[in-house]
Structure 1
Amino acid sequence: MSDAQNDTSAHEPAEGPGPKEPNPAWERLPRWEQRFRAPRVSLPDWAQDAPDRSLFVSNATGTYELYTWDRASGKQRQVTDRPNGTTDGVLTPDGGSVWWFSDTDGDEFGVWMRQPFEGGADEPAAPGLGPSYPAGLAIGRDGTAVIGRSTDEDGTTIHVVRPGAGPVEIYRHRESAGVGDLSRDGTLIALEHTEHGDAMHSALRVVRPDGSTVAELDDTEGGTKELGLSVLGFAPVAGDTRLLVGHQRRGRWEPMIWDPVAGTQTDLPVELPGDVGAEWYPDASALLVEHSFEARSELWRYEPGAEGPVRVETPAGTVSGATARPDGSVEYLWSSAAEPPVVRSTTGAVVLDPPGAKAPASEPVRDAWVEGPGGRVHALVQTPAAGEGPFPTVFEIHGGPTWHDSDAFASGPAAWIDHGFAVVRVNYRGSTGYGRAWTDALKHRVGLIELEDIAAVRDWAVESGLADPARLVLAGGSWGGYLTLLGLGTQPDAWALGLAAVPVADYVTAYHDEMEALKAMDRTLLGGTPEEVPERFEASSPLTYVDAVRAPVYISAGVNDPRCPIRQVENYVDRLAARGAVHEVYRYDAGHGSLVVEERIKQVRLELDFALRHLGKGEVAGPAS
């Protein structure tokens, strides 16, 4: 463990960065390790009625945990301290308490705990509610909490918990649902649900705390249309019943204002080409608009009634989160592929500077647009600073699948670049950020569709001279790990090596073992259960093609993973072993990934070592010169 990880200044009053003392131990570390070890902080959340009280996540101790920050005094305090880390937490509106989710070793199944902001003993936040997967949380000013829960036995249930009283169930359904928001006065609860059976496109319902319905908004028309809605938040003003909602009526995500009490819907003239999200300014006088387009993002301010939004200046790259403060300033978490993340403010200040050494920069990305079978595919390409192609090339495939790679800092791809590899990241069909049709194209031929787009970009990379066709690595985690195993079996001549982290490997067994919300997603993607559409599950399962795999395979898996459970990974590994295929497996005691820095470094080192050995490039690079 480096000195930077042992730095305890994360618990002391915040100070400016100041000059740093030389740290020989840090300087001897390879640059790729420095990027993982360098302390980071998330965008601080703040209490609505006590804006000086904030909550953030940091890896300053070597494990990602929750921290409070009193902006008035500068004092920071570590809230959680668990072997496998903690990232899910929220402040009560008065800033008096921190609610945090307590699971077991990353299995995502647990209960909400509560701790005073100033410190003290943890206690169950909702006595009487047993462990579950979380399905949303909203906390009112009078201490009332609305808690969403998901279990295999009950589906989704939503409970109202008032101070001094036991939980009262107000909602139950087999399909996935969740808590969206609670109005400022606590009289309205916004829910997202998929009772129509389409887990990719939610409908909305606003209910009273007793569960009675106020209003419904369903753009799917009972599941006959693939149009989704999302809750962005109630207006943060007393007596204001307006709800900010995301919709897809024009083929992309856009905000509108819905008043479920008055029964009105107000379109907003935010004419931007990509997906648009928004949140209220604290006084509800304006909206902070987040615009994502072609793997970059930017911020705008929109005042209802104005002709259009006004740009909030941010550097080119990716804004991973933003919030408007009571003084009108905006704080945001920004990075680019080349520059590490930093929490900035429109005042020009760095909002929260973590202690210790800083992460080294990496290489910028360039865009590649490739014609694919379903339209133009966008890929992000990074190459080493020295040397010319063709390079050994890693196709680092993102998870989700409803996600997208962006021009944002990522330590994993940067590690490959340090070792002489080019890195290509493909926003295949199914990815977000390119319109509803692109995301929704991922149906029934699951996995095979994404691999068609990846193959088109692979052919371009080889033909353009970027990639060495004999040293192509297919890699990814979660859905990216799934596509890696599926690609090695369906495109066996295309790849020299495969690296799959926490993958779906045996789709049928994965379906039966995974958490309930993911079962609903799989039924949507494939059109039914394994018993109803067995041919689709078979066509989309890596296990179907395992005997065709020729390339060496490295697999890592968390033994407590509820998303890509370990049993289905073992089924795939057993098949590899039975035919003597070259493979290695690393199992670790956590869930769907790890929040422990040392563990993450170990996993990357194992992947690098496996690739370099089998591609004939030697060993993992030693300390930086």
Structure 2
Amino acid sequence: MTASPTSPPSPEVPPALPAEVTARWQARFRAPRVSLPEWAVDAPHRNVYASDRTGVVEQYAWDRTTGTHRQVTDRPNGTLVSTLSPDGSTVWWFADTDGDEFGVWMTQPFEGGPDTVALPEVQPAYPGGLEIGSSVVALGRSTDDGSELWVAPVGGTPRVVYRHSEPASVDALSRDGSLLVISHSEHGDPRYPALRVLRTEDDGLVADKWDGEGRGLHAVEFAPEPGDARLLVSHERRGREELLIWDVLSGAETEVVVDLPGEVSGGWYPDGSALLLGHDHAARSELYRYDLATGTLEQLETPPGVVRGATARPDGTVELAWSSSEHPPVIRRADGAVVLTAPGEPPPPAHPVEDRWVPGPGGDVHALLVRPAGDAPYATAFLLHGGPEACDDDSYRARRAAYVDAGYAVVHVNYRGSTGYGSEWRDALTGRPGLTELEDVAAVYDALVTEGVVDPARALVTGGSWGGFLTLLAIGTQPERWAAGIAEVPVADYLAAYEDEMEGLRAYDRALFGGSPDEVRDRYVRSSPLTYVDQVTAPVLVVAGANDPRCPIRQIDNYLAALEQRGAQHEVYRFDAGHGSLVVEETIRQVERALDFALRHVRP
């Protein structure tokens, strides 16, 4: 890790945060956490989960019968992904290099033992899905040349079953391993993929399904019984995410229609008789059991907040990861019993969010507001989410709470491009990304200034990834609004970013902009923060990952060089990882640097 300001920091001494405030916000990051356990379908007592109990996110094996927990991976920059073979005998985990997301799948016995490259015949690449059956394994990989999907029979020779220049992935494998579902974008738009079903025995085509332009299909999972060809599919035929059941052999299709606002996701109960539905609406979520025979919808009791994931166990109990803006994450059953905790002290509680609906140029914009102690108007941090296909919600956020503890109001804006508000809202930025979202941010900003909540002289903008991109674009296109900007792992020079980013993201950009830079160069230039660098008047901090494949370092350096050339006030913090860090202390250093910068330039 290196920290290297490219211009002298402000000589002003920031107001010191009381020691107890610093200790509280850092405790939220240091408190160990665990993810929702994944269990082996034929050995449900064997589980894997992620935890940062050592200070680094790693993968763990848990035997519920014996109560033993064992750390599976141990790497300097952490390990983000793991899964289990159906019989629970083997843990699979993805090994990249220092967070660059490029690598190979490794295996390790559940009880412990040596790590082994899972399929030596498959060269390192970006991952494109993994499905493990009792007799066959299917995995995807992508490089600058496009996508390859492989099938590896147990004891047989791995082979390529699909290859294309456009993005594709392995999505689902039937319970008996005979049917493989792949997601592809041969039609040229990976935002709205189509599905194809192949026989794993001979790679023969079973079925194709595509809903047409602007309507994506995503395979969720096959029904859990061997020989059952029913596939649960997510669709958006009525302008929002919903579910259908597709028998891939007969072609029969049944839409799962429920009378709920917002968007619906789901998975199977282990006996195949019901679906576990997740319902997301207005930054909060709920769980339901949907009986397939009767169509009965039964809500499961969960507190108000956000469910990050849920699974139905073989005994019918439902386990979930839950939190709210005030209450830290917990892995619990729907009936309230705690399932899994990390050792150590739990994180301190945080602050409640308030909802705001603000008229915007594309419709009402949903925003979340968190107030600090004291009276309005407040110095305010607009924390813009990444994605852009994501949203801010009523979940526990340590970074949000750190700004509030430091004395700032925090505003989240679920701008056009966000998920959870329908397909039209999500897709509204097509052809004009960045500038469209910032129109919604401006609408919320103006409304809260008028309301007397936000002090217009003390507003800063910050975010990571797409939120970092929006931050740099905001200080260049809306210089009158922002007193400072903090951009973490951002897109800063869109033309250079397109050249250097992973091919899957280039394909996404072509779909988002309506072509490549060679075809619609003016659109990329119009949305690039570098285009507006001469209009930047606010001081800016840029946080950059040296190995970032999503927002590569060269395009950030181009932007910083332009700031340097014109003598603009800026600082840069570099860290030796990828698109963020899995190391807790490194994350704390980044937040500490951001708060120091904020306190020097926008005093609460």
Scaled by the length of structure 1, the TM-score of the pair is: 0.93
> How far off is 1:214 after superposition?
0.3
Instruction: State the match for 1:207 in structure 2.
Output: 198
> How far off is 1:271 after superposition?
1.9
Instruction: State the match for 1:568 in structure 2.
Output: 555
Instruction: State the match for 2:589 in structure 1.
Output: 602
Aligned residue for 2:280, secondary structure, equals: strand
Instruction: Name which of 508, 511, 525 aligns with 1:524.
Output: 511
In structure 2, distance between residues paired with 1:110 and 1:94: 25
Instruction: State the match for 2:10 in structure 1.
Output: none
Q: For each residue in 1:565-598, what CA deviation from the matched residue of structure 2 results, as whole angstroms up to 9, or x when unmatched?
A: 0000000000000011000001110000000000
> How far off is 1:616 after superposition?
4.1
Amino acid at match of 1:510: A
Q: For each residue in 1:77-129, what CA deviation from the matched residue of structure 2 results, as whole angstroms up to 9, or x when unmatched?
A: 00000000001110100000100000000000000000000000000011111
Q: For each residue in 1:230-272, what CA deviation from the matched residue of structure 2 results, as whole angstroms up to 9, or x when unmatched?
A: 1110001011000000110111111110011011101123221
1:477 aligns with 2:464: yes
Instruction: State the match for 1:13 in structure 2.
Output: none
Alpha carbons 2:301, 2:335 under 8 Å: kept: no
Question: Taking structure 1 as reference, are residues 27 and 351 closer, same or farther at Cα in structure 2, changes over 3 Å only?
Answer: farther
In structure 2, distance between residues paired with 1:442 and 1:517: 19
> How far off is 1:27 after superposition?
7.9
Amino acid at match of 2:211: D
Alpha carbons 1:383, 1:422 under 8 Å: kept: yes
Instruction: State the match for 2:359 in structure 1.
Output: 371
Aligned residue for 2:518, secondary structure, equals: coil
Alpha carbons 1:230, 1:246 under 8 Å: kept: yes
Instruction: State the match for 2:486 in structure 1.
Output: 499
Amino acid at match of 2:120: P
Instruction: State the match for 2:251 in structure 1.
Output: 263
Instruction: State the match for 1:159 in structure 2.
Output: 150
> How far off is 1:186 after superposition?
0.6
Q: For each residue in 1:280-328, what CA deviation from the matched residue of structure 2 results, as whole angstroms up to 9, or x when unmatched?
A: 0011111000000010000000011323411011110000000000010
Cα RMSD (Å) of the superposition? 1.1
Instruction: State the match for 2:334 in structure 1.
Output: 346
In structure 2, distance between residues paired with 1:271 and 1:616: 47
In structure 2, distance between residues paired with 1:270 and 1:141: 35
Q: Which structure's relative contact order is higher, taking Cα pairs within 8 Å and 6+ residues apart?
A: 2
Amino acid at match of 2:69: Q
Instruction: Name which of 542, 565, 583 aligns with 1:578.
Output: 565
Task: Structure 2: state its 5+ residue gaps.
Answer: 1-18
Instruction: Name which of 86, 93, 99 aligns with 1:100.
Output: 93
In structure 2, distance between residues paired with 1:533 and 1:426: 29
Instruction: Name which of 578, 585, 593 aligns with 1:591.
Output: 578
Question: Taking structure 1 as reference, are residues 460 and 27 closer, same or farther at Cα in structure 2, changes over 3 Å only?
Answer: closer
Q: What does 1:314-325 correspond to in 2, within 5 Å?
A: 314-325=302-313
Alpha carbons 1:201, 1:227 under 8 Å: kept: yes
Alpha carbons 2:367, 2:414 under 8 Å: kept: yes
Alpha carbons 1:96, 1:117 under 8 Å: kept: yes
Instruction: Name which of 334, 343, 347 aligns with 1:355.
Output: 343
Q: For each residue in 1:501-548, what CA deviation from the matched residue of structure 2 results, as whole angstroms up to 9, or x when unmatched?
A: 000000010001000110011001100000100110010000000111
1:32 aligns with 2:32: no
Alpha carbons 1:184, 1:236 under 8 Å: kept: yes
Amino acid at match of 1:394: A
In structure 1, distance between residues paired with 2:260 and 2:239: 12
Instruction: State the match for 1:460 in structure 2.
Output: 447
> How far off is 1:440 after superposition?
1.0
Instruction: State the match for 1:42 in structure 2.
Output: 35
Instruction: State the match for 2:171 in structure 1.
Output: 180
Q: Quick check: 456-465 or 205-214, which moved more?
A: 205-214
Question: Taking structure 1 as reference, are residues 29 and 500 closer, same or farther at Cα in structure 2, changes over 3 Å only?
Answer: closer
Instruction: State the match for 2:80 in structure 1.
Output: 87
Instruction: State the match for 2:13 in structure 1.
Output: none
In structure 2, distance between residues paired with 1:605 and 1:98: 36
Q: What does 1:236-251 correspond to in 2, within 5 Å?
A: 236-251=224-239
Alpha carbons 2:21, 2:405 under 8 Å: kept: no
Scaled by the length of structure 2, the TM-score of the pair is: 0.96
In structure 2, distance between residues paired with 1:363 and 1:372: 27
In structure 1, distance between residues paired with 2:264 and 2:346: 32
Task: Structure 1: state its 5+ residue gaps.
Answer: 1-25, 618-625
Instruction: Name which of 7, 23, 44 aligns with 1:51.
Output: 44
> How many aligned positions are there?
585
1:327 aligns with 2:300: no
Instruction: State the match for 1:399 in structure 2.
Output: 386
> How far off is 1:166 after superposition?
3.2
Instruction: State the match for 1:147 in structure 2.
Output: 139
Aligned residue for 1:533, secondary structure, equals: helix
Instruction: State the match for 1:620 in structure 2.
Output: none
In structure 2, distance between residues paired with 1:263 and 1:59: 45
Alpha carbons 1:271, 1:308 under 8 Å: kept: no
Instruction: Name which of 214, 223, 231 aligns with 1:226.
Output: 214
Instruction: State the match for 1:6 in structure 2.
Output: none
In structure 2, distance between residues paired with 1:240 and 1:164: 25
In structure 2, distance between residues paired with 1:489 and 1:347: 50
Seq. identity, %? 58
Aligned residue for 2:219, secondary structure, equals: strand
Instruction: State the match for 1:293 in structure 2.
Output: 281
Alpha carbons 1:270, 1:308 under 8 Å: kept: no
Alpha carbons 1:107, 1:591 under 8 Å: kept: yes
1:130 aligns with 2:123: yes
Q: For each residue in 1:416-445, what CA deviation from the matched residue of structure 2 results, as whole angstroms up to 9, or x when unmatched?
A: 000110000000000000011100111111
> How far off is 1:28 after superposition?
9.4
